[in-house]
């Protein structure tokens, strides 16, 4: 959130800040976004007119009354309330007046996140293909929406007999042809997405183990508050574990070591290395060994 709103002049404050009211008053009039962090279950009534949208219209201008002041409301003003409470209990009026977004990590959500991380590190080709595929599918949706809007506009503004409007008929034929091409590409993209997901699922055990380990670590806080770990630090550990496995099992590095050992070392090369293909793709046996190594590295 800070990365998104910092360029727009994000102001960060807390309810305990003695200058909190002045910061909000200044932001309301100047259109700066405000982030109030570490909120508790109770919210100061001073900011109630702001999150309650107690707006008064005077002519073309809008005002918010805070205390004994009437503040001119800038349309660019945004207020974000942040809490670290895992299960906050706010009054119904606050839940009705605010949009609640739960950023709490679930085990299945973290597993998908770690799977994406592992695939991005282990198979960057699959990760880039999936990103391109998502962008392509979004582009198809936008193009179809534009075609539909264009056709509706042409039909609404057409004059006289539609069957005699050659320009409109040609436009309809072109739209139909383009729509058919896009539909075919969408079907191809769906098949490609299935193949990418199947290839990514091979790394699911490592991601599942990572999610399990994180939530086990989170349970340690019940023993003592000293055992508290952030998700960011855990992601760093997972990245390090993946890098360790990559360094240990990198085929190119193995070949360099074996070249130094001489011809005898080449004759005694194990069967597992012979199974590895020249183009760098791993056989099912080698892939299973690598996933097992990733799972073990993430665990320990």
Q: Are 272 and 286 in contact (CB under 8 A)?
A: yes
Residue 281 has what pLDDT?
A: 62
- Terminal CA-to-CA distance of the chain, rounded, Å? 33
Q: Is residue 291 part of a domain?
A: yes
259 in helix, strand or coil? helix
Residues 196 and 165 in one domain: yes
Q: Which domain holds residue 172?
A: 124-201
CATH number of the domain encompassing residue 75: 3.40.50.300
Please identify which residue in the block is written with the tokens 């100047």.
Answer: 30
For 162-174, write each residue's pLDDT tens digit: 777 787 788 888 8
Choosing from 201, 234, 269, the residue where a domain stops is 201
Instruction: For the full predicted model, state whether its pTM sits above 0.85.
Output: no
Q: Is residue 115 part of a domain?
A: no
Q: Average pLDDT for residues 48-64, to the nearest whole number?
A: 87
Residues 180 and 191 in one domain: yes
Residue 208 has what pLDDT?
A: 92
Q: Phi-psi bin for 262: left (phi > 0), alpha (psi -120 to 50), beta?
A: left
How much of the chain, in percent, has pLDDT values that exceed 70?
A: 90
Residues 187 and 217 in one domain: no
Residues 212 and 161 in one domain: no
For 189-227, write each residue's pLDDT tens digit: 888 888 888 888 999 999 999 999 999 988 888 888 788
Residues 135 and 53 in one domain: no
* Mean pLDDT taken over the chain: 82
Residues 73 and 134 in one domain: no
Residues 248 and 223 in one domain: yes
Choosing from 54, 81, 97, the residue where a domain stops is 97
Residues 191 and 245 in one domain: no
Between residues 250 and 239, which one has the greater pLDDT? 239
């Amino acid at each position: 959130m800070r990365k998104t709103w910092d360029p727009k002049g994000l102001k960060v404050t807390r309810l305990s800040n003695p200058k909190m009211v002045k910061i909000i008053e200044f932001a309301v009039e100047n259109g700066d976004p405000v982030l109030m962090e570490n909120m508790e279950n109770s919210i100061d009534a001073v900011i109630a007119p702001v999150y309650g949208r107690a707006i008064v219209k005077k002519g073309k201008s809008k005002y918010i009354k805070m205390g004994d002041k009437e503040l001119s409301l800038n349309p660019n003003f945004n207020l974000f309330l942040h809490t670290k409470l895992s299960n906050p209990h706010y009054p119904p009026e606050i839940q009705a007046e605010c949009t609640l977004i739960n950023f709490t990590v679930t085990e299945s959500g973290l597993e998908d996140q770690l799977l994406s991380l592992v695939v991005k590190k282990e198979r960057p080709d699959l990760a880039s293909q999936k990103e391109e595929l998502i962008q392509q599918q979004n582009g198809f949706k936008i193009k179809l929406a534009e075609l539909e809007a264009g056709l509706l506009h042409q039909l609404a503004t057409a004059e006289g007999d539609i069957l005699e409007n050659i320009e409109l008929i040609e436009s309809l034929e072109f739209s139909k042809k383009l729509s058919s091409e896009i539909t075919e590409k969408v079907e191809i993209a769906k098949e490609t997405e299935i193949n990418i997901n199947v290839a990514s699922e091979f790394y699911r055990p490592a991601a599942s183990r990572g999610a399990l380990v994180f939530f086990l670590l989170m349970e340690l806080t019940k023993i003592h508050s000293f055992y508290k770990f952030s998700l960011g630090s855990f992601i760093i550990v997972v990245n390090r574990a993946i890098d360790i496995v990559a360094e240990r099992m990198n085929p190119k590095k193995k070949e360099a070591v074996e070249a130094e050992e001489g011809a005898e070392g080449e004759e005694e090369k194990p069967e597992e290395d012979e199974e590895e293909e020249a183009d760098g793709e791993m056989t099912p046996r080698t892939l299973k060994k690598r996933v097992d190594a990733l799972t073990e590295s993430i665990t320990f």
